[in-house]
Chain A
């Protein structure tokens, strides 16, 4: 039986790098595409025409996720691993002076994409996970950690990732007893992807480095599956 993963936000950055590395390991990948004008994923599909399936998906819309699932159900008979990676970085809500209505609109957009996007994904694809690995992975962030929070601005993105961690906790309480295992991953500070697939020079490392660390966590086993933990790209545990 094929190993099959679904990855959201696969157009670029970490999602793209994870997709590429899973394909290298001969996994079949359902790659959720949000940005129509980015074509590096299309180039990758020429390299893996039978293993990579690109599906349009906006995780901020349940209708979009259901439409994607209806297509996926025609392509594969089950899903082993869901990797919820799609994120909205916060836009205007990263500025230092809130008060305008648009500031709060951006905070809500962070919540519906970053916190609820993963829930829409799991709810919709859960019926396709009755067999297989039953692994649910969520890309979170160090800024979700209340214990370690040092920032004074950029509320929208940070608090949406904390809300995500709580959503995963409740999923864990519900689904772990049925054999589902969970990963919460902090990918580190990654360089942004340009449209031609190259990376800018700001930040610590390109997404491929983080994806290389993520893959063993996402598809490997652990001896403490009865604990929900957030691990970073070096395998270090972060407090909530």
Chain B
């Protein structure tokens, strides 16, 4: 029987490419965009037997991403971006929990950007996206604290905009490899396992600080 993977959030180019590659790995892929989330998720949960992997793309940038504090911020837009990136992610985790409990994989993957790193962010604008992604980082840590005892596992991945299709395909391939492997990270001994520690990684596996 095929395993089910739910793809949701901001379904852009990289999200579509990652979806294709997850499908290539033998998963039945179901996509829900952020705008349809509230309507679709409850009915969808009734249709599936189990849910093995949830992949959430928290990549909504909002309509005012170029504004600095001197320009004046669009607070309604910042609220909307937070709702789409952060709150909808929490909603879908809560809604899908029961279905994921019927799977043995129970993997939750979140795609954000390196701008979610408070240590690394060097922008003077982009408040909505960066603040909501930083909030997601803490939210995932809390969800891990809560659900790890139920054998849920978590993967956090940074992507960016890829101008060349080949670069996007390679990034998606690396992302899916990371999503699906067990986190036995030391290639020499295959013994080290940092599954108990939440890490934010880029597509090359490099860890990004919070």
Check: A165 CB closer than 8 A to any chain B CB: yes
**Interface members, chain B 88-144 (any A CB < 8 Å):** 90-91, 94, 116, 118-119, 121-127, 130-139, 141-143
Q: Are B69 and A158 in contact (CB under 8 A)?
A: no
Q: Are A170 and B142 in contact (CB under 8 A)?
A: no
User: When each residue 88-124 of chain A gets 1 if its CB lies under 8 Å from chain B and 0 otherwise, what string results?
Assistant: 0000000000110000100110011001100110110
CB neighbours (8 Å) of A240 from chain B are 118-119, 209-210
Contact of A158 among B116, B118, B142, B146 (CB under 8 A): B142
CB neighbours (8 Å) of B68 from chain A are 174
CB neighbours (8 Å) of B116 from chain A are 166
- Nearest-neighbour CB distance to chain B for A136, whole angstroms, equals 10
For the complex, what is the distance from the CA of A126 to the CA of B182, rounded to whole Å?
Answer: 49
CB neighbours (8 Å) of A112 from chain B are 75, 79
Number of A-B contacts (CB under 8 A): 121
Check: A160 CB closer than 8 A to any chain B CB: yes
Check: B53 CB closer than 8 A to any chain A CB: no
CB neighbours (8 Å) of A151 from chain B are 142, 145
Stretch of A27-35, A142-150, A218-226 at the chain-chain interface: A142-150
Nearest opposing residue in chain B for A127, CB measure = B70
Of B75, B127, B131, B133, the most chain A CB neighbours within 10 A belong to B131
Check: A128 CB closer than 8 A to any chain B CB: no
**Interface members, chain B 166-194 (any A CB < 8 Å):** none
- Nearest-neighbour CB distance to chain B for A158, whole angstroms, equals 6
Nearest opposing residue in chain B for A144, CB measure = B138
CB neighbours (8 Å) of A185 from chain B are none
Contact of B69 among A104, A107, A126, A159 (CB under 8 A): A126
CB neighbours (8 Å) of A153 from chain B are 142, 146
CB neighbours (8 Å) of B130 from chain A are 166, 169-170
Q: Are B131 and A174 in contact (CB under 8 A)?
A: no
Contact of A123 among B69, B126, B143 (CB under 8 A): B69
For the complex, what is the distance from the CA of A147 to the CA of B118, rounded to whole Å?
Answer: 12
Interface residues, chain A, with chain B CB atoms under 8 Å away: 62, 98-99, 104, 107-108, 111-112, 115-116, 119-120, 122-123, 126, 144-147, 149-153, 155, 158-160, 162-167, 169-171, 173-175, 239-240
Interface residues, chain B, with chain A CB atoms under 8 Å away: 68-70, 72-73, 75, 78-79, 82-83, 86-87, 90-91, 94, 116, 118-119, 121-127, 130-139, 141-143, 145-146, 198, 209-210
